[in-house]
Structure 1
Amino acid sequence: MEALKQISQLPISLSSLIILISATVPLSAAAELGLTDDSKCGCYLTNGGESRYFARHRFFDFRSLSEYAGVPATIRDAETTAGADETSAFFTATKWTDFWTLASWNNSNSARADASVLMVNSPNNVYIEANNEPDPSSQTWLTLRTQRLPDFQTAAEIESASASYKYLSLRMRARTVGARGAVTAMFTYRDADSLADVQESDLEIRTNDPRNLVHYTNQPSYTDDGDDVARATVNATMPGGRSWTDWAVHRMDWTPGMTTWYVDDAQVAQIAFQTPRDECNIILNSWSDGGSWAGNMSDNDAAYLQVQWLEVVYNSTGAGPEAKRHGAGSSCNRVCSVDQTPQRGRPVMLWDNAAASRGGGGLVAWIPMGAAMFMVLITSGLLG
């Protein structure tokens, strides 16, 4: 095992060379194998500027859940809303609970020094909403709601049940809509006793901003004295003249020494400075606290993060349900892609060295099994 760890620490330039070699696999061969399922995948190779191998895959589809759809009335009492029930059976099913939890924490411990409003997260603000717009691609979507009430700000957050993710490619087809003074976000997070030790890569949309502006950051982006850390953040515009009120695929790749963000497959930001090094949670939220970053919402105004689907390929050091679900382990004889697939959520097989070794004529029978394993092992995340 120690030898494998040493292999995983080889220079990234060598890893890039291997990725270049693997890119020579004929696309026509990929079409022959076509769609597969996660039980047949040993690992997943992502595309983009920081291509990496990942061990596991999960997909959450909110586009056709009419049986769970319904917009719950806002609970207007701070204590009651924190303990609210889930808004539908969808959020109590194992497929959801073995990966996600619904937050109920509040900011009464002064998490942000300049917050001027009590913010309370509530399960009541996470729900499946019916699509009443002319959008044939989605009957429903997941909504995370935040709303300003006379005495507090009610907010929404979903968190991964595990904090053992170490490198991932996280994607969501989403949009942000609603009133000014709110923030919606998708990020990894590792808490710490001091601000300087926090590890976080995030995408944040502020509804006070121009509708094409998105903030990408490896936190912390400020010091205890309130000074900005300029190298931590890239403020980018949505590509192609798009707005964050439009449906778009937002993607974040956290890899060793680098975080890279994309919108609809176009790279919009990349930050090497203070990239997270250790295991993290995955979080999505919609919130405001009246502080300088979020702004202050007017009474009864609301904003929403709406998500059609969530997808993640990842490595995990944990042994919980999220690590065991597909049983992929560390074997990478069968390499799959969630980027080249024609059907979102289902992987496509890129090559199958196990079949080749059995004489089954796998996709790249000319690549020995040992070479395929070597390709995986020298990329720094799979053994992390």
Structure 2
Amino acid sequence: MSPTLPALPAVVTGAAILLSLFPLATAAGCECGYMLKQTSTFFTHKMHTDFSEIPDTTDVNAALPDWQVQAWAFDTDSSTGVMARKNEAENVWIKGGKLHLRQKGHKKDDRAPVSVAEVHSKRTDFHHGSFRAKYKVTVDKKADGGTVAGFFFYYDDEDETDIEILTKDGDKTIRYTQHPAYDNVTDSTIPDTTFQMQVKKPWSTMQEHRFDWTPAKTTFFQDNSAVKEMTKNVPKHEGKVMINLWANNGTWSGLPSTKDVKMEMEYIMIYFNTSASQSGNDTGFNSACEAAGGPENNTICWVNDKSGTDSEDSKVTFSASSSSPAYILQSLVLVAGAGLAVLFLVWA
């Protein structure tokens, strides 16, 4: 049964009526986007990278058209004791159906840069979305020091949402942060910008980590169960997705682990709007949706996330026949903005 929603604006009601006049086209599926049943949130695009479908390789850039392995370095800062670190391609590979990232073990007296790993999405136009990745972090119990494992959205240091595992925190703690989180003037953390949360099972166990970014808030999930909402410093700009594993002797990571640390990832799944589709100006999406007959029960896919499971176990279906064009249009306006609704009206 559809959730109760406020009355439609006149322009949207008119659009919904006109949408019913679209000729029904044979749809390949999801041409007009995705509706998340769990949160009644609409997104126009999906990007799914399933590492189980990719043969073992060390040439990750060739194997992953949507992602780019990083190879650059940070210098040391003698005034703070922060060590140099270097992202190296040899620390990223695919094996056994998983993406592997590594921080190489770093001896305490080693003066070379800490050897770490980082991967970025090639897309830089994510503008709201549901960002999901299933992974675990493994640490040698005999190691000294620690590492930070990050899965996050990034525009710049003032517009960033992080899910981070700090191994020094212990294996049942995770951190959620929206930047800026530190006030240099007061030399203190900005209230309500970063939180330490407990995970239901150790982060050394495979589980899905997720954050949903909408204009008003960011919601964090563990295995599709919502655990935290943040309304402070919600990102305002489009950006990219990043994954990394690093340490630099700073206050956040502490000393780098003296033994190898690994991050193993089964998949990354993102439902999202682009900066263009958010305003109704994504010509590729618009053309595909219009050609399929416009937003209807057979062109919008519903993502049936179930709390306590990961997204690979979630069913994606076309909406039930009771989901009218009016309800679909209303949801578009409430969560994706009026641009798409007006566009659909123009098509009609």
Letter in 2 for 1:372: I
Identical amino acids, percent of aligned pairs:
21
Of residues 220, 224, 231, the one that matches 2:184 is 224
Corresponding residue number in structure 1 for 2:222: 263
Structure 1: which 5+ runs fail to align?
1-14, 22-36, 70-86, 131-139, 352-362
TM-score, normalised to structure 2, is 0.76
CA distance in 2, matches of 1:346, 1:181: 34
1:56 paired with 2:45, answer yes
1:91 paired with 2:61, answer yes
Aligned partners of 1:38 and 1:347 also within 8 Å: no
**Superposition pairs for residues 109-128 of structure 1, below 5 Å?**
114=80, 116-128=82-94
* Cα displacement (A) at 1:378: 2.8
CA distance in 2, matches of 1:183, 1:202: 11
**Superposition pairs for residues 136-175 of structure 1, below 5 Å?**
140-149=97-106, 150=110, 151-175=112-136
Corresponding residue number in structure 1 for 2:23: none
Corresponding residue number in structure 2 for 1:314: 272
CA distance in 2, matches of 1:147, 1:349: 43
| Deviation digits for residues 315-349 of structure 1 (CA, Å, limit 9, x no counterpart) | 01259xx9959975585322213334999388622
* Cα displacement (A) at 1:224: 2.1
Letter in 2 for 1:350: F
Letter in 1 for 2:139: G
Aligned partners of 2:303 and 2:317 also within 8 Å: no
Corresponding residue number in structure 2 for 1:105: 72
CA distance in 2, matches of 1:382, 1:282: 26
Corresponding residue number in structure 1 for 2:14: none
* Cα displacement (A) at 1:254: 0.7
* Cα displacement (A) at 1:298: 4.6
Letter in 1 for 2:219: T
* Cα displacement (A) at 1:64: 4.5
Cα distance, 1:343–1:181 mapped onto 2, change above 3 Å: closer
| Deviation digits for residues 158-183 of structure 1 (CA, Å, limit 9, x no counterpart) | 11112211101011111111254100
SS at 1:208 equivalent: helix
CA distance in 2, matches of 1:109, 1:318: 39
Corresponding residue number in structure 2 for 1:29: none
Cα distance, 1:370–1:268 mapped onto 2, change above 3 Å: closer
Corresponding residue number in structure 2 for 1:237: 198
1:349 paired with 2:302, answer no
SS at 1:92 equivalent: helix
TM-score, normalised to structure 1, is 0.69
1:186 paired with 2:155, answer no
Corresponding residue number in structure 1 for 2:18: none
1:380 paired with 2:336, answer yes
Cα distance, 1:326–1:370 mapped onto 2, change above 3 Å: closer
Corresponding residue number in structure 1 for 2:343: none
Letter in 2 for 1:68: D
SS at 2:74 equivalent: coil
CA distance in 2, matches of 1:217, 1:380: 24
CA distance in 1, matches of 2:41, 2:76: 39
CA distance in 2, matches of 1:58, 1:325: 14
1:332 paired with 2:295, answer yes
Cα distance, 1:289–1:347 mapped onto 2, change above 3 Å: same
| Deviation digits for residues 17-47 of structure 1 (CA, Å, limit 9, x no counterpart) | 439x9xxxxxxxxxxxxxxx97444111124
Of residues 304, 314, 338, the one that matches 2:262 is 304
Residues paired across the two proteins, number: 300
* Cα displacement (A) at 1:366: 6.8
Of residues 167, 192, 196, the one that matches 1:207 is 167
| Deviation digits for residues 72-108 of structure 1 (CA, Å, limit 9, x no counterpart) | xxxxxxxxxxxxxxx22x5314xx22x2111122212
Aligned partners of 2:224 and 2:305 also within 8 Å: no
Cα distance, 1:271–1:316 mapped onto 2, change above 3 Å: same
* Cα displacement (A) at 1:381: 5.5
Corresponding residue number in structure 1 for 2:33: 43
Corresponding residue number in structure 2 for 1:136: none
Structure 2: which 5+ runs fail to align?
9-26, 341-348
CA RMSD between the two structures: 3.4
